[in-house]
Amino acid sequence: MKKTFKITALAFSAMILLSTTACSQGEANNESNTLSEYQSIVSETRSITTNENFNIKKAFNSIQINGTMLPSPPCISDFGNDFTLGTKLFSGDENNSGRLVGNLLSNKAKAISYDIYNVSNDEQSDEKKLKELKLDIISQENIDVMESKALLSVLGITVGDSMDDADKAFGMPDSRSMSEKNSGTYTYTSSEDTSKMISLEFKDNIVTKITIYYSVRG
């Protein structure tokens, strides 16, 4: 039976920029006012009918880091002892919860970026509590892999793979034109569960960034 799912081409703006250089938590807190609003999304959505099944549950159950399966959603502690806390920015204060964005290090280099919503000041300042919070978004870029050697994968697709392979893994028919294969972002979701999605950024038909949204909030 044919199954219809949505693939959304996204143009991201107001992205959070995290420096890969070290900074203290105090500096991060002072810069909290630089946190932009949640990524605004300008989308063009089209429905694709295909004989392949895009199973969002299967996709989220396939997410791995360095070959180790991650729960859905994961905590920082689920990444294991090879990963340590890097820089982080908190949008709240002593009295108000906020959004926390940060990164995890592997081999002393940024490996994973993450977002967590509704974090209290107590939670973000207590390392033990922070590591047990569920992550709302995780992502990895090509430069992260080059420097950290850590590898995030979903349905067997990693940064550096071709979009042709990604099309097959995600059940998208090979109908893209050469201009569409040059660069862009495809986001995969399903009518079965619109609270989750996965996006692949690509350039020259090569995956350059993977972003996993365990919780979609606008």
- The secondary structure element, H or E, covering residue 32 is none
Residue ranges covered by each domain of the chain: 3-213
Between CA 208 and CA 140 the distance in angstroms is 8
- The secondary structure element, H or E, covering residue 48 is strand 40-50
Question: Rounded to an integer, what is the distance from CA 99 to the centroid of its chain?
Answer: 15
pLDDT of amino acid 193: 77
Q: What is the pTM of this model?
A: 0.77
pLDDT of amino acid 24: 39
pLDDT of amino acid 110: 96
pLDDT of amino acid 175: 66
Between CA 133 and CA 116 the distance in angstroms is 8
pLDDT of amino acid 192: 75
Sequential pLDDT tens for the chain (218 residues): 444 344 444 433 333 333 333 333 444 444 333 343 333 332 333 333 332 457 888 999 999 999 999 999 999 999 999 999 999 999 988 889 999 999 999 999 999 999 999 999 999 999 999 999 999 999 999 999 988 999 999 999 999 999 999 988 987 766 667 767 778 888 888 777 778 999 999 999 999 999 999 987 65
Burial pattern 36-60, b for ≥16 Cβ within 10 A else e, equals eeebebeeeeeeeebebebbbeebb
pLDDT of amino acid 118: 94
